[in-house]
């Protein structure tokens, strides 16, 4: 880190997931990472008076990178879990999510998670969905991919029976390919996203304060509206 930019503040490295729509993904036109999380962390940085340098990677790289103290901040639609909180510090929750199932639009035999025995369910490695499937669906055949895009592609192509993933991400894919995809069942597990820090980082408090200010002054709502508004 060091001085840079107009704020005169420190520059902090921010680890993010390279593809988790609509929270973080590459804007092909600008070559920059964009999405809800990217707007949020940039707004927090501006509020708190520091600069950010975004580095994108596979989701499990964000988790291990934060555990190893390789980055100052991690924002990646990362669910706050007790297990992660043993090795990573989290900000206050900033987004309510959960898990959900998607199947092919033609599928008639999976109506809820009760129908997963013997089915091939795709998800992403190192995520809460993988843990949920291991814990609750030992009779399902779980296929994990390093990126979630591949899981949806296999579902569209009929190579897997279902995808289990985060509600806002599942809804995004279904909204963009309603011809081939549909959601089934209820929200399976409520979750909340938090911004990650190496253990005992002094940044946690500054980021929480900035987040609270943005929630109070409407800055958070503007970003929410931009990515999730009707």
Least Å distance, CB 115 to ligand GLN, is 23
202: tokens are: 């002094």
Rank residues 77 and 185 by Cβ distance to ligand GLN and give the closer one: 77
Give the phi and the psi of residue 135 in degrees, each rounded to 5: -75, -35
Rank residues 50 and 59 by Cβ distance to ligand GLN and give the closer one: 59
Cα–Cα distances in angstroms (integers) from residue 90 to residues 64, 87, 186, in the given order: 14, 10, 27
Least Å distance, CB 9 to ligand GLN, is 27
Least Å distance, CB 230 to ligand GLN, is 24
157: tokens are: 């192509």
Q: CA 82 to CA 174: how far, in whole Å? A: 30
Rank residues 37 and 156 by Cβ distance to ligand GLN and give the closer one: 37
By CB neighbour count within 10 A (0-12 exposed, 13-18 middle, 19+ buried), where does 7 fall? middle
Least Å distance, CB 76 to ligand GLN, is 5
Instruction: Note the residues at the interface with ligand GLN (CB under 6 A).
Output: 17, 20, 59, 76-79, 124, 127-128, 148, 166
Rank residues 121 and 148 by Cβ distance to ligand GLN and give the closer one: 148
């Amino acid at each position: 880190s060091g001085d840079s930019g107009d704020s005169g503040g420190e520059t902090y490295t921010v680890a993010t997931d390279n593809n988790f729509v609509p929270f973080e993904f590459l804007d092909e036109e600008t070559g920059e990472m964009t999405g809800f999380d990217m707007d949020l962390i940039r707004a927090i940085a501006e509020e708190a008076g520091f600069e950010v340098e975004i580095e994108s990677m596979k989701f499990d790289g964000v988790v291990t990178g934060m555990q190893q103290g390789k980055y100052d901040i991690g924002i990646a639609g990362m669910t706050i879990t007790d297990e992660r909180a043993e090795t990573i510090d989290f900000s206050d929750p900033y987004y309510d999510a959960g898990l959900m199932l998607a199947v092919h639009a033609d599928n008639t035999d999976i109506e809820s998670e009760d129908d997963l025995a013997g089915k091939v369910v795709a998800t992403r490695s190192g995520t809460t969905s993988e843990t949920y499937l291991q814990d609750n669906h030992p009779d399902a055949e779980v296929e994990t991919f390093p990126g979630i895009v591949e899981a949806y592609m296999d579902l569209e192509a009929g190579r897997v029976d279902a995808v289990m993933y985060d509600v806002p991400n599942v809804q995004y894919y279904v909204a963009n390919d309603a011809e081939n995809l549909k959601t089934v069942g209820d929200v399976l597990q409520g979750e909340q996203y938090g911004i990650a820090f190496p253990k005992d980082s002094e940044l946690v408090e500054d980021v929480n304060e900035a987040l609270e200010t943005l929630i109070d002054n409407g800055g958070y709502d503007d970003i929410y509206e931009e990515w999730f508004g009707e």
